[in-house]
Amino acid sequence: MKAILFVIAVFAVAIGIAVTAASNRNLGEHAVALPAAQVAASESAGATHARVVFAGGCFWGVQAVFQHTDGVLAAVSGYAGGKAGDAHYGMVSTGRTGHAEAVEVTYDPRRITFGKLLQIYFSVAHDPTQLNRQGPDAGTQYRSAIFHVTPTQRQVAQQYIAQLEEARVFGDDRIVTQLVPLTEFFIAEAQHQDYATRHPGDAYIATFDRPKLEALQRLLPEVWRDKPVLVMTGN
């Protein structure tokens, strides 16, 4: 499905169809430099692990961004937000199960705050003004959503969205990111894990995801890590 959509997107450019600034923002070179969150989540005292699930288009790029983020212990591609009792790519890609392609981020709150993760998510991981579309991918399975694990995460996310809206960092476009309690997270198939690292020459990765990594390194160098934390090797 992604390959077909990518071919369509390339063809559209070739015949001169205009691409709006809003849809371009999720290509890393158009990433937005955002202010840090004014309020950071206070994790449990002494906590060494916390997790949250981010959805924002194809999980390949979102996973890669957080795998290159210092303080992140694991970033796993999967599916969240659906009604079905199970999920796999063939089901989710139809858009009928209610799931979104998502990434479970486990992080060390002593090294990186939830507020900093939000800054990364909203600035370079995806375009939060696009609800059910990111780049060439369209459908509810590509929606912008934060599946929060704790009430504090929801509160901080709400406050940060309000902060960004007040600052009009996206101009006239509104942030449409959904805030939803995490119920279940289904880990995606092995072929989708570490995809950007394993297939750097893939046309989709080179066009839509590599620029996100370049933007992360350029805009937030303090959190950039050269060696990604991978799923398949346990690094």
Residues forming the active site: 58
In the chain, how many H helices and how many E strands?
Answer: 9, 8
Question: Could you tell me the two tokens for 25?
Answer: 């923002």
172, 129 in Cβ contact below 8 A? no
Which amino acid appears at position 22 of this protein?
A: A
In this structure, what DSSP letter does residue 27 have?
S
Q: What is the mean pLDDT of the chain?
A: 88
* Mean pLDDT score, 73-79: 98
Global pTM reads: 0.88
* Mean pLDDT score, 12-33: 50
pLDDT band for 1, please (50, 70, 90 cuts). Answer: low
Sketch out the chain's domains with CATH numbers.
Answer: 2-223 (3.30.1060.10)
pLDDT digits (tens, 9 = 90+) for 41-71: 666 667 899 999 999 999 999 999 999 999 9
Residue matched to tokens 């959904």? 178
pLDDT band for 86, please (50, 70, 90 cuts). Answer: confident
